[in-house]
Structure 1
Amino acid sequence: MASWPTGVAVVTSTWQGNPVGCTVNSLMSWSVDPPSVAVALNSAGRTVQAVRASGRFGISILDWARQDLCSRFAGGAQRDRFTGVDLLGAEDVPLVRDSLHALACTVQKTFAWSDHTLVLGLPSRIYGTGRETPLVLHGRALHRLPRAGVDASEAAPDSSLARSSLRLDTPSAS
């Protein structure tokens, strides 16, 4: 599967009052009506336990500028993953403030299969940062895509806000 390019995101929730999260590349749009998403999480991980217990989760889609979070949230102690990360607390779900887009979601259904759990969720809010350089995993390496309509040699890491048909908010600096 290393030859299959995918986006990279951080899935978050809360466990006993503390934020928990992990890196994922198994994220997809599940349906348009109603707008919903699906993400696969390690069934033995703390993140899926928190998602099940709280019924809420966040998805922070990483852009090139936040590639450091990919490896940070892929392993190590949960308490260390959030150190120094500016969070946006949306509807009791921690979200990475400087991500490409961030979604606050409510769990609709979970499916356990082998060593992973597929979580289906309905986004209640979507935030955007104004960046358009998604972080992509391909060939076991991180890459960035150029903005749509821009030659790859002209790609810049910051550009205009991408729009969504669901409520799109730009988080305040507070």
Structure 2
Amino acid sequence: MSNMMKFDVAMAQLEAGKFSFQMVDAIKDHVARLEAEMEVLRASHADAIWELKRQEYATWRLEAETRKLNDRIHALVRANEITALVRRESAAFSVKARAYLSLSARVARSALDQAIADIQAGKPQAELARAHAALRAFVSAHAPSEQEMRDFAKQIEPHLDALRKRLAPSIEKTAAYLSNLRKTAA
């Protein structure tokens, strides 16, 4: 007879008011089996909780790694934006500088050719001295005085300070940002 049948028979006898030691043994065996199953369930529950905590820790580590990688990606995107901006601005500047240098070279060449031609033509030194004096007089007449230069410097000084205050943090941030990128990329 199976254990369940023994338990059912023992319970039926107990309800009928009959008492026997076999009935008590059957009930005790059934309670012992239930306790053993309960222990197995407790062990399984403890293992499940341990596995859950282990997976929560693994999830936390992966989330932290993801945040770290997202920060690096964001830093690279910002550095890329800054680099693109610098490239665009430097390209525009180089085009302007090329045109300016080309024009300056032509003007300087024509002035040098004219000076060589004047020397070869035998223009007297006095004429050159007179031209130099006229140029010096023109510059002296139109050049601002030292006091005017000081006044002008005082007028633009607050603007220069404001410009320095605005540019300095940006330059420092950019330098630190690029330095940090080099460190993290290595």
Computing the radius of gyration from Cα coordinates, the structure with the larger value is 2
Q: Which has the higher helix share?
A: 2
TM norm structure 1: 0.16
Structure with the greater relative contact order (CA < 8 A, sep ≥ 6): 1 or 2? 1
Q: Which has the higher strand share?
A: 1
